[in-house]
Chain A
Amino acid sequence: MKVCITAQGALLESKVENRFGRAPYFIIADTETGSFEAVVNPFADGSGGVGPKAANLIIEHQAGALISGLLGGNAKAVLDMAGVEQFVYQAGGTVSDALDAFKKNTLDRVK
């Protein structure tokens, strides 16, 4: 499955970004192959509605799950509709840390 993690930089060592729509990067990691891709978020500096726009973007990248710190209601609605599960990561670590926690199944699901 492809998992999207909001990040402050383009690497697995980058810190997880707490915000979703305004995250500078989306790291799309493939849990089966271990490969990953960094997608620059073109909406990070947008003036409004960045949550749903970013949600559409990660859906286009075929993410099946999202890991972020905080998620707005509008973005959540889009992801729910597309069947993308959402998980909260607020421990202040890196993208790798968040991905490990996800694989160990220790992250809370966004309700």
Chain B
Amino acid sequence: MIRIAVVSGKGGTGKTMITAALSCLLKGSLVLADCDVDAANLSLVLSPRLIRTDPFMGMKAAVIDPDLCTECGACREHCRFDAVEIDDGAYQINPSRCEGCAVCTLVCPADAVTMQPRQTGVIMYSEVDRGHLVHARLVPGAGNSGLLVHAVKKTALQEDGDAEKFLVDGPPGTGCPLISSVSGMNAVIVVTEPSVSGLHDMKRVITVCRQFRVKIFVVINRYDLDVTKTEETEAYCLEESIPLIGKIPFDPAVISAVRAGVPVTDQGQGPASLSICGIADTLEKELVNLAAR
């Protein structure tokens, strides 16, 4: 199985649209995972048919038993994450602030605090035209989205481990969800845009990806919106020996495709669609080389 993650650093560069189109174009059997669990959008353009839903249990969090609590304040004093709140005189844990460290269980003289599993999201397993899609929804404000990413990927591998390709739509940023998305992959495609911030964020995400020794490719989306910045991005890729596998022009057909809820490659032979077909071809060749190594 070849494992590919599409990432970006900066949000809104067109990662999801490219992932959706690639899922239709790549050869062989395929399993898909939407690891942008904060704002999962891949399902909006792939018309998934839900097969089942599993609860996601995050890291254990502290819970105070009000019957045992003596309101001594030791937990509040020692919690470094300000997770112990007083509501109407009663001590309680704000689960969105609790880091699960368990220091409160250590200091409570009344043994009133225990660590309890809690559901912080759901994982959905669905059928799409090209195979199966695993996607998720995180309870807003919940932590541990990196762990949810791990669980999403694990579900995909457990259910469809025999697929030839595993395609992951990654999250923006460089924090734990991104690290979880990139871990264990063979290749990442960094989707960037020609802007000061696009270039800045691409460099940061590449630094993180390199720690995982994965093959890195770059795609510049909407490249014609700023030719100078595109040249700057190209020069960077050349200098760093990162293959640039495609440049996608700005094309209003992309927005119409999102509105229609389909991948852009389903909407005729526009400039963006043609360009993504070229990217899929180049990627196939590169992946053959990668597998041969």
Contacts and interface: CB of A to CB of B under 8 A. Distances in A.
B213 A22 contact: no
**Dominant secondary structure of chain A at its interface with chain B:** loop
A41 interface: no
Contacts of A47: 58-59, 100, 144, 146-147
A72 B161 CA distance: 24
Interface of B: 58-59, 100, 144, 146-147, 150-151, 154, 161, 183-184, 212-213
Given A47-B144, A47-B146, A70-B213, A19 B151 contact: no
Contacts of B151: 45
A47 B154 CA distance: 14
Of all A-B residue pairs in the complex, the 6 with the closest CB atoms, nearest first, are A47-B147, A47-B59, A19-B184, A47-B144, A18-B184, A45-B150
Contacts, number: 19
Contacts of B58: 47
Contacts of B184: 18-19, 22
**Dominant secondary structure of chain B at its interface with chain A:** loop
15 contacts: A8-B161, A18-B184, A19-B183, A19-B184, A22-B183, A22-B184, A45-B150, A45-B151, A45-B154, A47-B59, A47-B100, A47-B144, A47-B146, A47-B147, A70-B212
Nearest to B184: A19
Contacts of A18: 184
A35 B210 CA distance: 38
Contacts of A8: 161
A11 to B, nearest CB: 15
A96 B213 CA distance: 25
Contacts of B146: 47
B283 to A, nearest CB: 20
Interface string A68-104: 0010000000000000000000000000000000000
A8 B59 CA distance: 24
